[in-house]
Structure 1
């Protein structure tokens, strides 16, 4: 049974590869690790199962110094952004195989459009997931304080953007007073997710100390911002108890972090300007209200002055009018009283005359003169025949005298 030595096998593999891959080829993979030494770059590549972190293929490669210089010149700032752990890349490589060191990929070129496209696909997936979870606009629904003073800042202490932000809010033309607390975090690279989310959680634990959260960093390429197209960062912002303002430094593109934040600005200085304008807007509203109150108060005073003047003018005429009106009333009442008194006197005079006549007609003397008599027994007047007793003397009174009579038993 024939066999090969390891060297013979590897030499055979080397010839097969050299025969079949005489020209460089483009491959798609993910950079799992990058190391630099004396201008040379040594990289590990992986391919993962879709929607999983399971590695299904792995290899290593290198980018020699001269090729690196060429790509730096070609790609500019994108070069550093592409050669980072976790970046999906499309690279043009020569496939080499060494009997001792095995398969190596010699990088000749990098296609940045592939990486950008992959990042955009990832970005869209994250946005869609946040939409489905109802988290995309959560932070925008928070009510921002009318006046912002206490700011929690997530940035790097040495970042130019952070320094610009602090200078802007401290030297504002309105002399507004702001306080800020820095929560330091990596704003690019593989540690961005971990450190930014940790900073956010630290702030949430002290939420009552702040009015707002600001995430700021300096400018950079589109790939430098890839760390903020991150689901965990976006989700953490969506559950924030405070409004989050993003100023992560890009003139054109919006990251997922920008989209989920309460407000986003292109630069840290633009964030500072927005905060200053926000407070100025409130001050302007207060000034307008104060002016309205002053104008209303002045109008009320003017109205009252006019009313008082009208009252004074009215009082100058009113007394004479009142006196005249009351004099007429009294005169009318006096006339009524005189008429009423005269009428009453006449009425009572007529009644008295009638009474006098009645009394006169009722006088016994006048009655006797008419032929009537009056029978008396002592002081009593006899009004009935049945009251006359036998053997009793009575006095009959006539108009011209009295006659004494006695009734005998015979009648």
Structure 2
């Protein structure tokens, strides 16, 4: 066979590929790799691969170069906006592509669209698989009730005041800074005692680092009111450590209420679903603690006001009762003294009537022997001298 020029072969391949795929678009599932993104220029080069097991650890079955030109560059922004996932390597995507071949640059796929629903569905399927496994393996820690996941951590009693806190976050991070600033600047001047357990909160190894800090907190036996896990914002892939089996098991069964403020507005992680309380950002985590303590203070102030009102009512009632009893006592005493006065007056009249002087004045006389009154006739002897007491004097008589 006579040799041909390379350009002839290249042009032939171009014609064959153009005939087979030209002006056609097809949907393919592939994983991203080796991304070279140029946002300022409006284009992106990357490699699309397929692995044996569909995971990052499987062997490579296929690999093709791909690009996104300026006219379709908006699909990256639209994908990130719809999913909250950064356009990065090692993401499995559903892509609308066209096949092109250049004698100079070779075979390349042009990406026309990225389907966000496929990515969201994958994330949700992976999350659901983890939740199903947790429910099956640890029914004592997590279970379904009326379509909601209930965990042992959620059922822990919440302290009336959350003041002593264990904080898990990355050192010097925006999440750490936002949380501490909001806590320190609270308008009610509440004091918080915060012990920091600093660690990485994203990237490879983050889940084990966070769980190791939770184990440190458990072994410390310090009576924390709550454990707070915070991190700043980022893409959905940055939150992968909060969607794992290990993280779900550790959070669901932890013996201290866990408050998560891991900085994402769009999606809810497994850690969010299984912890005691979840808020969207580190700032809101601090605000939640401040508001919780404010509610306790307001309940105390309300009880104080109610106690003051009850005390005033009780004193008023007691005062009215005392006034009524005093009036009744005054009336009773008045009647008592009036009746005693009447009795005394009657007795005085009786005594006046019984006074011997008054009796003698009415014509009666007293028979005396040596100044002693005789009351019985048998005591009088014949021939003795006695005295008769009359109203106006004494007369001596002889019997």
Report the TM-score, using the length of structure 2 for normalisation. Answer: 0.63
1:46 aligns to 2:47 (yes or no): no
For residue 122 of structure 1, what is the aligned residue in structure 2?
126
1:154 correspondence with 2:168 = yes
Looking at structure 2, the residues matched to 313 and 329 of structure 1 have their Cα atoms a distance apart, in angstroms, of 24
> 1-side partners of 2:304 and 2:157: how far apart?
24
Rounded Cα–Cα distance in structure 1 between residues aligned with 2:123 and 2:246: 15
The answer as to whether partners of 1:78 and 1:221 remain within 8 angstroms in 2 is no
Alpha-carbon distance between aligned partners in 1 of 2:217 and 2:246, rounded to the nearest angstrom: 16
1:144 counterpart residue number: 158
Instruction: Call closer, same or farther: CA 1:228–1:77 in 2, change over 3 Å.
Output: farther
Task: Work out which of the two has the higher radius of gyration on C-alpha atoms and give 1 or 2.
Answer: 1
1:202 paired residue among 182, 199, 216: 216
Once the two structures are TM-superposed, the CA of residue 302 in structure 1 deviates from its matched residue by 1.8
Match of 2:334 in 1: 320
Q: Tell me whether 1:83 sits opposite 2:96 in the alignment.
A: no
1:231 matches 2:235: no
Distance in 2 between the 1:90 and 1:255 partners?
23
Q: Which runs of 5+ in 2 are unaligned?
A: 1-8, 39-43, 101-106, 143-148, 351-399
Q: CA RMSD in A?
A: 4.2
Q: Distance in 1 between matches of 2:20 and 2:173?
A: 46
Give the C-alpha shift of residue 325 in structure 1.
Answer: 4.8
Stretches of structure 1 that go unaligned for 5 or more consecutive residues are 1-10, 97-103, 336-411
Q: Secondary structure at the match of 2:227?
A: strand
State the match for 2:233 in structure 1.
219
Matches of 1:70 and 1:199, distance apart in 2: 48
Q: Deviations over 1:321-370 (max 9, x none)?
A: 224556788989xx9xxxxxxxxxxxxxxxxxxxxxxxxxxxxxxxxxxx
Q: Does the CA-based 8 Å contact 2:166-2:194 persist in structure 1?
A: yes
Q: Secondary structure at the match of 1:151?
A: strand
Instruction: Determine whether 1:289 maps to 2:303.
Output: yes
C-alpha offsets along residues 70-113 of structure 1, whole Å, 9 cap, x if unaligned? 8875424967834245x4334578999xxxxxxx9878575544
Tell me by how many angstroms 1:143 deviates. Answer: 0.8
CA distance in 1, matches of 2:87, 2:37: 17
What per-residue deviation string (whole Å, max 9, x for no partner) do you get for residues 203-235 of structure 1? Answer: 222352421111222223344434322222111
3-state SS of paired residue (2:187): coil
Q: Which residue of 2 aligns with 1:240?
A: 254
Using the alignment, how far apart are the partners of 2:343 and 2:266 within structure 1? 92
- What is the aligned residue count? 309
